[in-house]
Structure 1
């Protein structure tokens, strides 16, 4: 009878080790092999700050000063596709198997978290502040991405004016369309909002001179939107609520005139932000107006000539054309009548416009034929306290900036009292206002390429706030 072979110690040790690993693997204490839960990198309440739209990286940034809780909460009212902020997890699971989550759901989860975080910060009055300034109660970090539609040809689409009074329109279009823009989504189904790069100014330039009596601005714009809506699913799924245009032309608000129902959810980013002419602050976005130099000295903004407060010897300054009732009243009472309130219709050639702004304590910003004026931006560049003299004007970024903290408001009817009102502002109050102007000035800077905190980021952040107010149907496009 053959003897049984005895396994070597090495083989016994190896078998025991394999058995041990098998027992550990099937142990009920180890659950890693049973379930894989998805934890999305989404908007979470980390700190009371605002983060500006970027896709290639995330940046936290404060926007100062803050709006009031009531004003901030007004941007969270429920429009057609609403997000329930009382319990967002009731309809959008925050932890779900990756395979079951559609692309639309991924976007809506991020936006729902951001919306809930803002509402929570407002309720808790969770502000970042010191004794003199307050910040928006955002309490969220967000990711944002935009897509622009390729349809259309130059000159009316994909380009715009790069200089003079409507220049922000072309600068924004060009920034969004440059190949390495950090704002663009890699795929359209990853975008939070869609940009229509059609230029109202270019349409006017091309067609108005040909036939001013049968000017086809409205049909051209509507036809472009119809092409986009028929070729892609994105316009129709939201009734245009996640689409936006940008224009600084005076006539731009008219683009929805022929079919207001069709465009009732469409976001218009406009310099002419006049509430008496149909501008809706909770849906539309107010755009700062720039007057950039053209050929041969192209610039992105005026020279910075602002003096320190103790070297500002002019109480108030304005120079500009005489158009509109408000400026007519201003010229009637103050045009070249006072050394402290310096008001000019035609500035003498020997005087430097931006130097005078930099030597003034207050810069007068009266509306002209339309509500917007580049003097608001020019005052910011020279760190001069803006004096807003206007009716029905929704100021840029007033959804997050409390203009009362760094500007002075004078109703047009009180223009005769201009000097009395400004003289009545104490030196301490003026220094506080001027300090805050220096803080918010960076939000009005135009940079190419765009930089964090600047005007292009601010515009896209305003669009994002309005995009948060809708909830798309849960379909996977």
Structure 2
């Protein structure tokens, strides 16, 4: 009996010791979590349904992906439906019909109230709140008339589906980390990419003429929380600490109600790279080659190196009859480089890859540039060779637009399967051919105009030469290696030059013109300062519907001195090329945007580039340009126009040749001798 009593006492002592150890561990865990998590919500981390802020060393919200989006089909195989789609799509392209289906891009409003005009291919979009409809000339609509391809049942489904959003990964290239956030949708977890934004001071600066750089403490940063949602249209809310009312006010002004998500495309950039800084980066990379040194030598490398020597000692061109010298950084080098490209360059086009993503160009709409290049390159007999041993460059002919249309799972908020598809493709050609492995892909090129292309081609295609419409230096665009591809809104595939030209300078009565939807954070600021404020500044929101409105938009561009080209959700806009098309001097308002063919063209000769923070001074800036200077720029616009036109049969110095030349030119200055 006594031994039993001793045993019970010993058991109680040991139990108290274990309870003490467990309690000590729990307290340590809580203290540790309170130091790591914002606002000290450590206890919530132990609860299954708690709202949990995510914070890491780089002040970026990071979570591992818990689920993966299912692939629509095996990416590297062909099924019977591919052949059917091919024939239908070929008929659709040949007939020149637009395709229009609302898509999910990096913003929170889906497309609503789409109206189509089949006579001339214009597309109108309702704003979903009232009856006002505008002419679409930006990436507001990029899935044009896909209902013609997929039938009325798919169209009905598209019209009824819920709004959705994709969060862009602009900071991934800077931090080397994928930013992923988990959202509970009907008790299921899906992933989306998001980025922490410093908005307080930057948003305030957009109201005035000066830019001030401010670094916020971690507790001043916007913190993304995981919230319970009941349907796919609800999303992650951003929380601004109550101790910073200025931040809360500015964020609400930029993105709507305080409870909505704050995405990268709706917030000003943290850093701004000026054109002068871009020039400096370009010169630095010209002096030092950045491409991977080839694993073994090739006679093609020697030919490219010989071409560089010829370019650098190009004779000075005087009164060239073909080229207008003020348009170029160095017209002599450009002319010599173009001649050497025309005489030397050979391109091998991979036949691998299945339609519709590969080998099926789309020739109308916002992403027509990638389709026209694909069509003209694959049908070219001058540059294309069948023997890859003779090639200096290797072209991967895929469409980023069709990649999104074919594989993206609607409302999934996950694009990893799109990137995985291209990763599988690059690995396949690396295993099948020796050319990728020789240079790590540095002598391979891709041409992509969809907004998501920088994300889809990151890492596994990092060494390739990328011709991208979304030429954003904060999203991984490499000046001196990548090429800024002009985004051209082609309304008629059979006649891409329709309505070309504009009024002479003496008949351009309007000082400035802009009309468009309020996409992104910048356009509302433009209208706030200039809509209905000055009769010389024709600044509008969405234009009313109707054929007359379409022509009114074109006539405004044809009769204005300056056409305002503000960024939308991304830095690029088809308005830049539209302005040149209608001989209106483009005014680019888009921080961190690398203008097309930046490596060879002098954009200061035929455009005005202003900082986003200078919107309040827009009229004063334009009025400060003398009449003589304006006439010079307007003449330069007419001269540069030939370099931004697509032709069914390519012409010398046209958009096809300019794109190919910039790819060639960047390769010439990137190659490393063995």
TM range (shorter): 0.7 to 0.9
1:453 to 626, 650, 653: 653
SS at match of 2:351: coil
- Which runs of structure 2 are paired with 1:28-427 in the superposition (5 Å)? 71=282, 74-81=285-292, 104-105=298-299, 107-121=300-314, 126=316, 128=318, 133=326, 135-138=330-333, 139-140=336-337, 141-142=339-340, 143-178=344-379, 180-209=380-409, 212-215=412-415, 216-257=417-458, 260=459, 262-293=460-491, 298-348=494-544, 349=546, 350-351=548-549, 352-427=552-627
1:351-376 residue CA offsets vs partner (Å, 9 max, x unmatched): 42222111111111111110111111
Extract unaligned runs of 5+ from structure 2. 1-277
1:111-149 residue CA offsets vs partner (Å, 9 max, x unmatched): 12221133345xx9x464699836434145312121110
- Distance across 2 between alignment mates of 1:193 and 1:203: 23
SS at match of 2:486: coil
- Distance across 1 between alignment mates of 2:413 and 2:589: 34
* CA spacing shift, 1:473–1:109, aligned 2, 3 Å: closer
* CA spacing shift, 1:188–1:427, aligned 2, 3 Å: same
Between Structure 1 and Structure 2, how many residues are aligned? 380
* CA spacing shift, 1:285–1:381, aligned 2, 3 Å: same
- Indicate if the aligned counterparts of 2:289 and 2:672 stay in contact, CA closer than 8 A: no
- Distance across 2 between alignment mates of 1:327 and 1:214: 27
* CA spacing shift, 1:73–1:184, aligned 2, 3 Å: farther
- Distance across 2 between alignment mates of 1:110 and 1:473: 11
Give the deviation of 1:187 after TM superposition: 1.9
SS at match of 2:298: helix
* CA spacing shift, 1:68–1:284, aligned 2, 3 Å: closer
- Distance across 1 between alignment mates of 2:653 and 2:284: 22
1:269-320 residue CA offsets vs partner (Å, 9 max, x unmatched): 10000001111112111100011226xx754244124011111111111111
TM-score normalised by the chain length of structure 2: 0.53
| Greater relative contact order (CA < 8 Å, ≥ 6 in sequence) | 1
- Distance across 2 between alignment mates of 1:163 and 1:455: 15
* CA spacing shift, 1:202–1:68, aligned 2, 3 Å: closer
- Indicate if the aligned counterparts of 1:82 and 1:469 stay in contact, CA closer than 8 A: no
- Indicate if the aligned counterparts of 2:282 and 2:479 stay in contact, CA closer than 8 A: no
- Indicate if the aligned counterparts of 1:322 and 1:345 stay in contact, CA closer than 8 A: yes
CA RMSD between the two structures: 2.7
Extract unaligned runs of 5+ from structure 1. 1-66, 84-101
- Distance across 2 between alignment mates of 1:240 and 1:393: 25
TM-score normalised by the chain length of structure 1: 0.74
